[in-house]
């Protein structure tokens, strides 16, 4: 049997992490649209420039972390579709980054607590379910072999 025939395709339970990755990537894209709208509307741009330096610094930090998470998500999605052997480790790191960003939003962002807790619980639930799956699953080991 050749290597191509022995390698499994993405399927089964691997579609759930792939869907979660795609939904998170769409969320990041929406956040980038919202950030760009804030820069394009003259009133909000003026508010950003004339408001306190701490708020402006926090806003730019949020933009940079959103860009970084978007770039990491795109790179992970590319590697996921190519079925490279680095995907399990990269995906676990990506899940931990989503948990860290949810903790950051819970602790430091000026959003209501219900939304922050829901975001944090979703990230924790995804990490609690998917990290053991990526560590122990035979399907993951057989799929990501290149």
Render pLDDT for 19-31 as a digit per residue (tens, 0 to 9): 999 999 999 999 9
For position 3, what pLDDT does the model report?
A: 52
Spatial distance between the Cα atoms of 84 and 96, rounded to a whole number of angstroms: 20
For position 1, what pLDDT does the model report?
A: 45
What number of other Cβ atoms are within 10 A of residue 13's Cβ?
13
Residue 5 has pLDDT above 70, yes or no: no
* Average pLDDT score over residue span 108-136: 87
Q: What does the buried/exposed string (b/e) look like for 125-141 if buried means 16 or more CB atoms within 10 Å of the residue's CB?
A: ebbeebbebbeebeebe
8 Å CB contact between 143 and 108 = no
For residue range 76-113, list pLDDT tens digits in order.
999 998 888 899 999 999 999 999 988 888 777 777 77
* Average pLDDT score over residue span 111-137: 88
**Closest CA relative to residue 115, chosen from 105, 125, 124:** 105
H helical segments located in 11-52: 15-40, 42-50
Q: Which has more confidence, 36 or 46?
A: 36
Q: Is 56 exposed, middle or buried (0-12, 13-18, 19+ CB in 10 A)?
A: middle
For residue range 37-85, list pLDDT tens digits in order.
888 888 877 877 777 676 777 888 888 999 999 999 999 999 998 888 8
């Amino acid at each position: 049997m050749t290597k191509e025939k022995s390698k499994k395709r993405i399927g089964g339970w691997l579609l759930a992490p792939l869907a979660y990755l795609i939904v998170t990537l769409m969320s990041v894209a929406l956040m980038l649209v919202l950030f760009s709208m804030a820069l394009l509307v003259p009133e909000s741009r003026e508010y950003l420039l004339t408001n306190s330096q701490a708020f402006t610094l926090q806003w730019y930090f949020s933009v940079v972390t959103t860009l970084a998470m978007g770039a990491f998500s795109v790179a992970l999605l590319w590697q996921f579709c190519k079925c490279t052997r680095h995907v399990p480790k990269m995906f676990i790191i990506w899940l931990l980054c989503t948990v860290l960003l949810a903790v950051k939003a819970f602790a430091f962002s000026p959003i209501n607590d219900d939304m922050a807790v829901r975001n944090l619980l979703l990230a924790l639930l995804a990490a609690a379910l998917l990290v053991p799956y990526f560590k122990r699953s035979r399907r993951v080991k057989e799929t990501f072999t290149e």
